[in-house]
Amino acid sequence: AQSVTQPDIHITVSEGASLELRCNYSYGATPYLFWYVQSPGQGLQLLLKYFSGDTLVQGIKGFEAEFKRSQSSFNLRKPSVHWSDAAEYFCAVENTGFQKLVFGTGTRLLVSP
């Protein structure tokens, strides 16, 4: 069965610094890949997605992610973090054709002044 690993439970970044959140997946074919963000006590919002084509995808709020097939990774990046980016971030994989997402355990981002 496919799985998603987000190795960092918490990350603290200074405001204005760059950010990279790691995501690795275990899946035989090319999956559909997603990053979602969740503010405390709220639902999840889609940041970006990768289905095919260009391996560098742009999302909302200045985020981007790069699909690396050789590393089975889909890391999320942002060049300059804002205090409002503090939230929990989830990587997710869809088993193509099965219409079910598998989520990672999440990474909580803290932004320091």
Partner 1 sequence: DGGITQSPKYLFRKEGQNVTLSCEQNLNHDAMYWYRQDPGQGLRLIYYSQIVNDFQKGDIAEGYSVSREKKESFPLTVTSAQKNPTAFYLCASTVGSGANVLTFGAGSRLTVL
Site residues (CB under 8 A) for partner 1?
A: 9, 32, 34, 36, 41-46, 49, 51, 90, 94, 96-97, 99-101, 103-106
Residue written as token pair 């742009």: 58
| Minimum distance of partner 1 from residue 96's CB (angstroms) | 8
How far is 23 from 70, CA to CA, in rounded Å?
Answer: 13
Specify the residue, 18 or 45, whose C-beta has the smaller distance to partner 1. Answer: 45
- 83: helix, coil or strand? helix
How far is 104 from 9, CA to CA, in rounded Å?
Answer: 10
| Minimum distance of partner 1 from residue 111's CB (angstroms) | 20
How far is 94 from 32, CA to CA, in rounded Å?
Answer: 5
| Minimum distance of partner 1 from residue 113's CB (angstroms) | 26
Specify the residue, 13 or 37, whose C-beta has the smaller distance to partner 1. Answer: 37
